Structure 1
Amino acid sequence: MNSIQLSIIERNAVLQSMATLVDQHRDELIHVNQKDLKNYSGDDKAMYDRLKVDQSKIEGMILSLQQLADQADPLGVERFTFEHDNGMKIANKTASFGTVLIIYESRPDVTIEAAGIAFKSGNKILLKGGKESLHSNLAIVALWHKALSENQITTKWVEYLNYDRQKTQLFLEKPTQKVDLIVPRGGEKLIDFVKTHATCPVIVSGRGNNFVYVHKDADNTIAIDNIINGKTDKISACNAVDKVLIDKNLPNKEDFIHKLIAALKIHDVEILGDRSITQYPDIKPIDSDTVWYDEFLDYKIVIGETEDEIEAISKINTYCGGHSAAIITKNQSTADTFMSSVDCAAVYHNASTRFTDGFQLGLGGELAISTDKLHQRGPIGLQHLVTNKWYIHGDGQTR
């Protein structure tokens, strides 16, 4: 691949071509996806939901590409300038990583979004999707290659690695080409596999296991709406809610819990509870405190009681995945304390954790949602898939 960086005009032209091609081939993509759906023999509802491509997902793919094409160039952005006493002019500017490998499960839309963000930010992308979505992914990559070729650009910018587990492990340990960054996007087993074998930097797109804390000054209606949305809107999402903590001093607490149970049962959510909650109907006692660590990706939730916000913060920081957490309260001071103290990539006050998403937070999509703190936390958008370099201009200075 030519090492000279493509211009922003060239990169945007490919993205616009790809948006047009996806629109023109939407029926073909849905038809190909049916092969993957028919071949999928598992009973994981979240996996199936992520695997499925329908008209709504196609629209999302097209919108992602169009928004990326409309965004400013993330490369060459000046972050710092300094003029040395000796006259040298110094600047620090954003730069591409080089080659990014993303390893992901099930989601064909990642083949659009990840490649689009990587390409716009000047990176070559290596895509390693799961076997369950192979037909869909190969069809999308074929469109990427067509979009690149239409613009007289080498197809090496977007490459699909059709590897089994053994070959993937070998590539991670001894890459056959230079890889500058790896992003595993999937379950904990996938993440552990990549971290164990990778020989270059890894950004973890980790588990959810998100909490909602209902403070004693909560608006009960907002609390119930928030929990139901977070739990049932999309169970396959890493920003879904799995745990609810209720302040023991919540006024009309019993009435609130009964209403919450009724609302969850409408959606056939299995409800587990700690000792303080199990006296209510339709709640199963938890078997072990280890359940507080679990990400469900299913119609399942755990409800517990806390003494106050201090205990709630401590429990969230102990068990959560570092993804998202919300507090429901009318007390701004308590909300501020909660949001500054909870160790998550995204913290919410009276709003649903379902908004932890590149589109929803104004980034125009994301490569992944990082639960690491280096080098980017939360949604990794176009602006974040860059590193930096120093530019020093002189006229003969020596030290």
Structure 2
Amino acid sequence: MKLLNTTIKNNVLQSMTKILDENRELLLKANKKDLDAFNKEDQAMYDRLILNNGKIDGMIKAINEVKAQEDPVNQIISNDVLENGLQVTNKTSPFGTIMIIYESRPDVTVEAAVLAFKSNNRILLKGGKEAIFSNKVLVEFWHKALTENNISEDYIKLLQMDRKETQEFLKNPTEQLDLIVPRGGERLINFVKEHATCAVLISGRGNNFLYVDEKADWNKTLAVIIDAKTAKISACNALDKILINKNIEDFNNKLKELQTVLKDRNVSILVDEDVQNVLKNESLITDKTIWRQEFLALKCCIGAVNNLNEAVEMINKYSGGHSAAIMTTNDENADNFMQQVDCAAVYKNSSTRFTDGGQLGVGAELAISTDKLHHRGPLGLKKLVTNKYYIYGKGHIRN
């Protein structure tokens, strides 16, 4: 794929911000069609589907942030001259064609495309049917921005396929595919992994845990839990599971206070046997598989553990590998927890809601990767490239 000049790419992004700003009403009307057709029983998905002027401002901000970032393509990683005289240069390089599969969120149509385009990749956008009107308009905006700058519309393409057609496309792509990013729940991820014939980068489920150490600051703990659980239930960085050390001072009363603050915010609670001995009216967890579930709802599980090692073991067994937090004033315990927990982001005395490209200083993100190859955490602009070796010789042969 020919490498586009950085100025040309930034000009396209500038055009897109102008088109978005000038055509807000057109986009909001399309979004209203999506909202009117949607079954509102799934509140989390409905929340992700909604567009308003604030979200459009966020799209424009994301594009401008990417525009301001250094072009990640053709950057020198290493440059060496070997003893035999060969010059070996390793440079960043585009993946080629990236396919992203996602549900509900029209803003992904903007963020995914801006990141792919700035990193010189072509992108195939497979959004959910619930956002089809919004996504059609947004891709029309992208095509207008591209054609205004004499760039092919083929760089950004909206795929309109049902589940069966998507399955067939994954098995037998009708065009080149170099990387697929499924951004959604475990069912979607397993579907893509089963049928894809190219590399898949997993943007896994949330199901985030918070461990309350026996040396935790309780007031800070409550504040962090309230934020992580209730601020945005539709986000993959929301909190679902709380583990409390049994040895914390005044264990029973702290559990009751936690129950009160959660109930005051309409959070339903499920508990293990130890916790139910204190919170007698809460539902008992009878099926341990619930510890694996991402709720995307005002719902959480509370369990009791004997020590930090038990908490780590439980998190590594059940979490989605996304985010986990420890609340403690003990630095050694915090270090042990953060080193041993197998998640993309680990926190000390902080809400898991910060697992977000913008919040972590990365800027717009394609997804939060829970894979260990090629990258883990927010997939920002710098991580949407691979690498290529350039070897320069003078008639060299290997004897």
**TM-score scaled by structure 1?**
0.98
- Counting only pairs closer than 5 Å after superposition, residues 102-121 of structure 1 correspond to structure 2 as 102-121=100-119
Q: Note if contact 1:261-1:282 (Cα within 8 Å) is conserved in structure 2.
A: no
Deviation per residue, 1:77-130 (Å, 9 max, x gap): 211222111222111111000000001111100000001111111100000111
Aligned partner of 1:65 in structure 2 is 63
| Deviation for aligned residue 1:175 | 0.5
Secondary structure, in 3 states, of the residue corresponding to 1:199? coil
CA distance in 2 between partners of 1:353 and 1:215 (Å): 16
Aligned partner of 1:276 in structure 2 is 274
Aligned partner of 1:169 in structure 2 is 167
Secondary structure, in 3 states, of the residue corresponding to 2:204? coil
| Deviation for aligned residue 1:282 | 4.8
CA distance in 1 between partners of 2:33 and 2:264 (Å): 33
Give the aligned length: 397
| Deviation for aligned residue 1:18 | 0.8
Secondary structure, in 3 states, of the residue corresponding to 1:134? helix
Aligned partner of 2:331 in structure 1 is 332
Aligned partner of 1:40 in structure 2 is 38
Aligned partner of 2:17 in structure 1 is 19
Aligned partner of 1:266 in structure 2 is 264
Indicate how the Cα distance of structure 1 residues 30 and 282 shifts in structure 2: closer, same or farther if over 3 A, else same: farther
CA distance in 2 between partners of 1:245 and 1:325 (Å): 11
Structure 1 unmatched ranges of 5 or more: none
- Counting only pairs closer than 5 Å after superposition, residues 67-216 of structure 1 correspond to structure 2 as 67-216=65-214
| Deviation for aligned residue 1:396 | 2.3
**TM-score scaled by structure 2?**
0.98
One-letter amino acid of the counterpart of residue 238, structure 1: C
CA distance in 2 between partners of 1:262 and 1:112 (Å): 40
| Deviation for aligned residue 1:326 | 0.1
Aligned partner of 1:395 in structure 2 is 394
Aligned partner of 2:322 in structure 1 is 323
Q: Which moved more, 1:13-22 or 1:281-290?
A: 281-290
Deviation per residue, 1:216-236 (Å, 9 max, x gap): 010001111111111101101
One-letter amino acid of the counterpart of residue 325, structure 2: A
One-letter amino acid of the counterpart of residue 202, structure 2: V
CA distance in 1 between partners of 2:98 and 2:10 (Å): 19
Q: Which moved more, 1:235-244 or 1:274-283?
A: 274-283
CA distance in 1 between partners of 2:263 and 2:306 (Å): 26
One-letter amino acid of the counterpart of residue 180, structure 2: I
Aligned partner of 1:313 in structure 2 is 312
| Deviation for aligned residue 1:287 | 2.2
Aligned partner of 1:296 in structure 2 is 295
Q: Which moved more, 1:226-235 or 1:186-195?
A: 186-195
One-letter amino acid of the counterpart of residue 333, structure 1: E
Q: Note if contact 1:366-1:379 (Cα within 8 Å) is conserved in structure 2.
A: yes
| Deviation for aligned residue 1:262 | 1.2
One-letter amino acid of the counterpart of residue 316, structure 1: I
Aligned partner of 2:372 in structure 1 is 373
Aligned partner of 1:231 in structure 2 is 229
One-letter amino acid of the counterpart of residue 359, structure 1: G
| Deviation for aligned residue 1:144 | 0.2
- Counting only pairs closer than 5 Å after superposition, residues 349-368 of structure 1 correspond to structure 2 as 349-368=348-367
| Deviation for aligned residue 1:57 | 1.2
Aligned partner of 2:246 in structure 1 is 248
CA distance in 1 between partners of 2:394 and 2:134 (Å): 55
Deviation per residue, 1:243-294 (Å, 9 max, x gap): 0000111112222222211111121000111011113255221121111111
CA distance in 1 between partners of 2:337 and 2:310 (Å): 11
